[in-house]
Amino acid sequence: MQIYDVCIIGAGPVGLSLAAALQKSKQLNKVLILDSIKKPKFNKQGLPNQRVLSVTQSSREVLQSVGAWDKLEQGRVNPYNRMIIDESNGQDYLEFKNQQAHIIEYDNIVNALLEVYDGEIEFESKLEKIELKPNEYVTVNDKFQCKLLIGSDGNKSKVKECSNIGTYGHSYHQMGIVCTVERTDQDSEVAYQTYLSNGCPLALLPLYNPYSSIVWTAYMDDYKYLMSLSDEEFLKVLNSQLGRYAPRIKSISNKRMAFPLQSLQAQRYIQKRIALIGDAAHSNHPMAGQGMNMGINDAALLANCIIKNSRSGNDIGLEQSLEEYESQAKLMNYTTSIAMELIKNTYENKTISPLRQLGAKIINNLDPIKQIMIQYGSKHPLGPSQFEWVK
Ligand SMILES: Cc1cc2nc3c(=O)[nH]c(=O)nc-3n(C[C@H](O)[C@H](O)[C@H](O)COP(=O)(O)OP(=O)(O)OC[C@H]3O[C@@H](n4cnc5c(N)ncnc54)[C@H](O)[C@@H]3O)c2cc1C
């Protein structure tokens, strides 16, 4: 049976970021990644994909540090500087400038990371079972053994399930509907988010001209209705719901996709010989576009921890070797999750609408406060401050 230092389950942006950092450090001999899907292909010539991500400064730094940022298809990396947040029921709005964020397709990021990671990777290889022999190795699918098994396998993590790690949280009973649209304007520098009368956000995220991506949060009845509409009908409803500052939409470019939304936190991020990162460890409402960014911070914190332990000659799979990662990542992710729940509840509460409007008006004129909010959103103060793999 092949023995690896680390086996990573899930080749999404988070698992691949970790793999690329470990590879760059040259500290480990053998790393293996497994993913159940076919090797993804990024269609550089085609229309933008439905799944896009708002990528913060901190994720950009991690991607740059492993060499993946330069491998992105640059014509499909859209920087945006301004974000306008308003409510369909109110006149006032919040405007954030100097965002320094980028909207990038999920597949573009995965493709760039796959270009830099040239270690062992097996697609169409699903994690079915693990056997934990705490003092030895973890056995994966009766086929491989490793000192440390990483779950970066998304919010239905099989690694978490097999390790009997519990989960706190709840479903929002909402779906996030996404698709690509063609705007009527040519301004690709502004992102818009409108809170509808039921408190659900509808975001218009700019891609290269003239495209944008929408993320429409909808309760289950609205979701069923919106998904049942023809493109022409959906276009009409979309244009009627977009905020007063947002451009109108000319056409719907591809099929709508939808994802269930939830707030989840794994009770533990680690166990002897196991670590969870990204959506396997936590999942949040996408309204602030933080999910993958939080996960890439996890990957960086865990890579730092593994590399430091490996340099010191420690067993990288021991719980005490992983504790630093868990304490740092939990603090970082809990604070972000709490901030997001607060924002969500504030916008859902109809009775405080006048107060919220007044608050937006006041904050809009307080540049130092807005600057702090932007800084917090683009680089978490408790996130990784250095990268052990570039030392
Ligand atoms: C509508 C919506 C909009 C969002 N917008 C943003 C945004 O703007 N910015 C942002 O930062 N985040 C955003 N997010 C969140 C973001 O998509 C996730 O946080 C991110 O994809 C998590 O990455 P990951 O690598 O942890 O997991 P995933 O992307 O879910 O990847 C998990 C991988 O594991 C594989 N896998 C699963 N099970 C197994 C198994 N048993 N065996 C082998 N492989 C397995 C899967 O095939 C997949 O490739 C959004 C989410 C939604 C739903």
Cα of 356 to ligand 1 centre, how many Å? 32
**Residues in the chain with pLDDT < 70?**
134-135
Please report the pLDDT score of residue 134 as a whole number: 62
Cα of 353 to ligand 1 centre, how many Å? 33
Give first-to-last CA distance, the chain, whole Å: 33
Cα of 12 to ligand 1 centre, how many Å? 6
> What class has domain 2-170+261-390?
alpha beta
Instruction: For strands 82-87 and 190-195, give the pairing.
Output: parallel
Please report the pLDDT score of residue 363 as a whole number: 77
Nearest C-alpha to atom 51 of ligand 1 is from which residue? 286
Long-range own/partner contacts, residues 217-222 (CB < 8 A, 24 or more apart): 217/174, 217/175, 217/176, 217/177, 217/261, 217/285, 217/286, 217/287, 218/174, 218/175, 218/177, 219/173, 219/174, 220/173, 220/174, 220/175, 222/198
**Residue 238 in contact with residue 109, Cβ under 8 Å?**
no
Nearest C-alpha to atom 52 of ligand 1 is from which residue? 286
Q: What is the DSSP string of 367-386?
A: HHHHHHHHHHHHS-TTS-S-
Please state the separation of Cα 329 from the chain's center in Å. 15
Cis status of the peptide bond prior to 210, with omega within 30 of 0: yes
Q: Tokens in use for 127? A: 């994690």
Nearest C-alpha to atom 29 of ligand 1 is from which residue? 12
Nearest to 282 by CA among 344, 330, 325: 330
Q: Kindly state if the Cβ of 278 falls inside 6 Å of ligand 1.
A: yes
Please report the pLDDT score of residue 149 as a whole number: 98
Q: Tokens in use for 130? A: 């693990």
Q: Candidates 9, 18, 53: which one to mutate for ligand 1, based on the most atoms within 8 Å of Cβ?
A: 53
Cα of 27 to ligand 1 centre, how many Å? 27
The atom of ligand 1 lying closest to the CA of 157 is 38
Domain range list for the chain = 2-170+261-390
Nearest C-alpha to atom 11 of ligand 1 is from which residue? 292
Q: Kindly state if the Cβ of 54 falls inside 6 Å of ligand 1.
A: yes
Helix-strand-coil split of the chain, %, nearest 5: 40, 30, 35
Nearest C-alpha to atom 20 of ligand 1 is from which residue? 292
